[in-house]
């Protein structure tokens, strides 16, 4: 049964409380993203025994350890590869990947584009905080130009990836983006991704308050979250106010949604047809002997 009441949702029922306290820094947006995911799971009434969460290396990759479900903490950049095998072998499961911008777009970029191309039924949450937060604060594929990191002390001179544009171009049938500031909207987007009958890619714009925020003098964690609200408002709204961020519009919500054959179902149909042909050929050969 699908439920809707935010007041009835208790995130603790979906967490391994023996793993607390968590390792996230104060103000980290990843905890907000985790809550939004579990809120969506709650609203859809998904059985925890039928939920499988795969994650890689990095701050985002550590989140699966806190979820009271079937969880897999795998090698750097490979959660989508592991999830592909799991979703094919167990189509009865709801398979979710939690990954970071470095894990997903750098070492894992090849796996991402092919997951988009295949359109297997699974949901990928890429938590984008623009930095390798856990391993030293290095530049990532999504670090904004001019931003300081430990490996770009003079400012990042490389253009960054638009992950959603990349996913859509690679063929993902569901692509969305949301910020951690808008938790109900983020929950709704994740819920839509979980319900989508194909590959769903969701970019969550998160904040690294300690490693990235301090180095770039972005203020307190609260100020960083509020910056999401001011900088990423829809342009139709921002043009009505005196905002310095009119030129930095970044679309949020569902960006791409198409219907096309789901890879697992198509593969199983083809395999069944092949077995039927082989059986018919065997019966025919038996009749000749």
| Residues 208-222 pLDDT 10s | 999 999 999 998 888
128's tokens: 């984008």
Mean pLDDT of 175-185: 94
| Cα–Cα distance measured from residue 159 to residue 154, given in angstroms and rounded to the nearest whole number | 15
Is pLDDT of 1 > 80?
no
217: left (phi > 0), else alpha (psi -120 to 50), else beta?
A: left
- CATH number given to 11-258: 3.40.50.970
Instruction: Say if CB 51 and CB 43 are below 8 A apart.
Output: no
**Least trusted range by pLDDT, from 183-197, 208-222, 246-260:** 246-260
Query: Which residues fall within 8 angstroms of residue 180, CB to CB, at 6 or more apart?
Result: 29, 32, 33, 36, 186, 204, 205, 206, 207, 225, 228
Q: How confident is the model at residue 226 (pLDDT cuts 50, 70, 90)?
A: confident
Is pLDDT of 5 > 80?
no
Mean pLDDT of 31-36: 96
Instruction: Say if CB 121 and CB 91 are below 8 A apart.
Output: yes
Q: How confident is the model at residue 246 (pLDDT cuts 50, 70, 90)?
A: very low
**Least trusted range by pLDDT, from 54-58, 137-141, 146-150, 219-223:** 219-223
| Cα–Cα distance measured from residue 166 to residue 181, given in angstroms and rounded to the nearest whole number | 24
Helix (H) or strand (E) holding 175: strand 174-179
String of DSSP letters for 180-239:
TT-HHHHHHHHHHHHHSSSEEEEEEE---IIIIIHHTT---HHHHHHHHHHHSS-HHHHT
Q: Residue 214, Cα to own-chain centre: how many angstroms?
A: 25
Instruction: Say if CB 131 and CB 208 are below 8 A apart.
Output: yes
SS3 71: strand
Q: How confident is the model at residue 289 (pLDDT cuts 50, 70, 90)?
A: low
């Amino acid at each position: 049964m699908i439920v809707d009441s935010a007041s009835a949702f208790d995130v603790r029922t979906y967490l391994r409380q023996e793993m607390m306290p968590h390792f996230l820094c104060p103000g980290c947006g990843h905890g907000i993203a985790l809550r939004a995911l579990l809120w969506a799971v709650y609203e859809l009434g998904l059985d925890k025994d039928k939920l499988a969460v795969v994650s890689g290396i990095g701050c985002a990759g550590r989140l699966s350890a806190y979820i009271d479900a079937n969880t897999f903490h795998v090698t750097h950049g490979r959660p989508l590869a592991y999830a592909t095998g799991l979703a094919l072998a167990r189509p009865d499961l709801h398979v979710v990947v939690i990954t970071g911008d470095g894990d997903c777009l750098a070492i894992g970029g090849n796996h991402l584009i092919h997951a988009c191309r295949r359109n297997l039924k699974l949901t990928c949450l890429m938590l984008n905080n623009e930095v390798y937060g856990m391993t030293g604060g290095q530049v990532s594929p999504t670090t904004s130009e001019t931003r300081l990191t430990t490996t770009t002390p003079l400012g990042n001179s490389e253009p960054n990836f638009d992950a959603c544009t990349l996913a859509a171009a690679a063929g993902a049938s569901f692509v969305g983006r949301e910020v951690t500031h808008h938790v109900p909207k983020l929950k709704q987007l994740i819920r839509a991704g979980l319900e989508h009958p194909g590959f769903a890619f969701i970019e969550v714009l998160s904040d690294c308050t300690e490693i990235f925020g301090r180095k770039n003098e972005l203020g307190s964690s609260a100020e960083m979250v509020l910056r999401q609200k001011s900088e990423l408002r829809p342009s139709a709204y921002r043009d009505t106010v005196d905002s310095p961020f009119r030129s930095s519009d970044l679309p949020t919500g569902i960006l791409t949604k198409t219907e096309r054959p789901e890879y697992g179902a198509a593969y199983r149909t083809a395999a069944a047809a092949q077995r039927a042909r082989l059986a018919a050929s065997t019966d025919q050969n038996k009749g000749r002997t």
